[in-house]
Structure 1
């Protein structure tokens, strides 16, 4: 027996035997395995018995029976269910849940006014509230600007006062450095010069303060409080008071 038939599997030999397609060499190998392999021999015996039963079995007719009366089909007919057992109710609940989540996430607002419904997304404040918030912001901004202007005005006034003090100091130093004879000769002229200079400085500083305060008052919407130096109601002590 060649190695080709010795290497053939038991399943292939069994299939060829059942189909009655074994040649002489395959049949010899088949018989040899039946003698040497007990498991293969039992498998062949079982297949042989099954084949004999299949060949000897005869067909028989099915008995006549009434199918309509054998089963109670009324029991399996569709029965109407109550509305709370409706199969679409869970789906409707899920849809309503998604709608509620959408309304919460988008901050959906539904308002009724004068018989009309309006739908909007996001938080909407009434116009009156918005106007109050804007007015409050403007007032805070103006108050902050006014405080800043007051600080600037105080600094500017201090600068003018320092300048006036410096001028007075320079005049004093001039008088001290001059000789006694020159002081006697120029005493009357110096007094007149000091008075004129003081008057001019007061007018100059008053005009500067008036212009500066008008500029600040224009920014905060207030009227200036200083009186014009050219008017009859001007008081030269106003500068000293400031």
Structure 2
């Protein structure tokens, strides 16, 4: 007989012993196993303790009062879940239909879905036009100031050279006149070249800025910046 069958027989014999069936025949078999002997002692101890506990009558009490509902607090109002559900549905509606509320000098504006995109695009285009006009005005002012300063510097240099030539002797003046005209021609060429280079740089900066505004106008807001022209 396998151990599993023996264990099953022991359990059945223990249950029969607990119910008082053939206790005299079953008890010797169970006491041979220390584990089942300890279980028998534990069962006898529990039965002894149960016999020692006196029976008591059930006290009289109002059974119906156990199920009476207490008065609920204000925050336990039954309508709160419904109110919460309503607010959740309203929030989902606002998100799905892209509802936006805007305040401006003219009042309040409530927009839905694509209308808001159209309003944003119009505002973006207006802002781009304003920034382009400001940038063009700044560049024109810078160009005019630069040209004025350059002409003044050239005139001052020419005047200084003329004064120097007039104060020299005739012999030196002849030699210096040749050098003066050579220098003047070189200076004019350098000045014209520098001025053309500055003008080209400013025109390229203006075209580059305008291109960036047009390319980024549909997605991003332009950043306020001033074009810097390297000397």
TM-score range, shorter chain: 0.3 to 0.5
Larger relative contact order, structure 1 or 2 (CA cutoff 8 Å, min sep 6): 2
